[in-house]
Structure 1
Amino acid sequence: MTATAKPHQHSGSPAAFGLTLFAAVMLFVAGVLDLLRGIMAIAEDKVFVSTPDYVFQFDLTGWGWIQLILGALAVIVSLGLFSLATWARVLAVGLAALLLIASFLSIPYYPVWSLALMAIYAFVIWALCVVRPSDS
């Protein structure tokens, strides 16, 4: 008797599955990038720009811990998205919104990186919100 592995069968539409998979991958990658940005900020790396006249000023080390924690949560939630869990879908939209806001607040410290991550998080939110729950 031989054992053969069956491919994962998904009963929903291919578009819904594809968008959820896209969101999971992008959230995972962006979460890892936020983890790295948090480590850089905690280590007070010289890659960060200091802007003296910005309305939202934060301590770089404190900001690093926020980025590190949010990045770790993004990685964990993205793993739940790979299993198509509804809880992960809901948490991913909320977490991506929080991370988008956090990236906005960190524009003066790392402008290009922050704008790139804002775009990624916007795509994650779009990908998870455009699919109706009945499709997945």
Structure 2
Amino acid sequence: MVGNVSGTSHRGTSGEARNTWAAGWTVAAAVLMLFGGVMAIFEGIAAIAQDDVFVATRNFTYEFSLTGWGWVHLILGALVAAAGLALLRGAAWARAVGVALAGLSMIAHFVWLPYQPVWSIVLIIIDGFIIWAVCAPRRESPA
């Protein structure tokens, strides 16, 4: 791949192709962090307002008030969205913060399962993808 400088080659395992691949996944992770953060903010606002969209469960092991969970999701969502924006802008610190916040989001949505099971499972999967995409190995291009 000596003549190809665009880094978009799909043949072989050149460093340029891997760098483009990893950069693409990082951008995808940043966009998903922005989306997930904004959706968590809306989820938190709905829970704080004690909207009727949530299922009320009794005798749940991690029982916490709906308003309390609303504040958790609102604050965590704002932090995830901010880290996603920073990652999209190329901030180096946003990678570690993004992994930590995606992990916290996974835990929060696991505990949130009785209230919104389908949405929680979807966001757990998305958070797992974000962690994988941010931690994907990348090589810096020489020029």
Superposition TM-score, scaled by structure 2 size: 0.83
Partner of 2:84: 78
Q: Which aligned segments of 4 or more residues in structure 1 are displaced greater than 2 angstroms?
A: none
Partner of 1:27: 33
Partner of 1:42: 48
Partner of 1:16: 22
| Structure 2 segments unaligned to the other structure (5+ residues) | 1-15
Q: Which amino acid aligns with 1:86?
A: A
Superposition TM-score, scaled by structure 1 size: 0.87
Task: State whether residues 16 and 135 of structure 1, in contact with CA within 8 Å, keep that contact through their aligned partners in structure 2.
Answer: no
CA RMSD, Structure 1 to Structure 2 (Å): 1.5
In the TM superposition, residue 13 of structure 1 has moved relative to its aligned partner by 1.5
- Alignment partners' CA distance in 2, 1:92 and 1:50: 31
| Structure 1 segments unaligned to the other structure (5+ residues) | 1-10
Q: Which amino acid aligns with 1:88?
A: A
Larger Rg: 2
Task: State whether residues 97 and 121 of structure 1, in contact with CA within 8 Å, keep that contact through their aligned partners in structure 2.
Answer: yes
Stretch of structure 1 that moved more, 31-40 or 12-21? 12-21
Query: Relative contact order, CA 8 A, sep 6+: which one is greater?
Result: 1
Partner of 1:125: 131
Percent identity between the two aligned chains: 47
Partner of 2:100: 94
In the TM superposition, residue 135 of structure 1 has moved relative to its aligned partner by 4.2
List per-residue Cα deviations over 1:67-109 (Å, max 9, x = no partner): 0000000110001111221100110000000001000000001
In the TM superposition, residue 131 of structure 1 has moved relative to its aligned partner by 2.4
How many residues end up aligned between the 2 structures?
125
Partner of 1:6: none
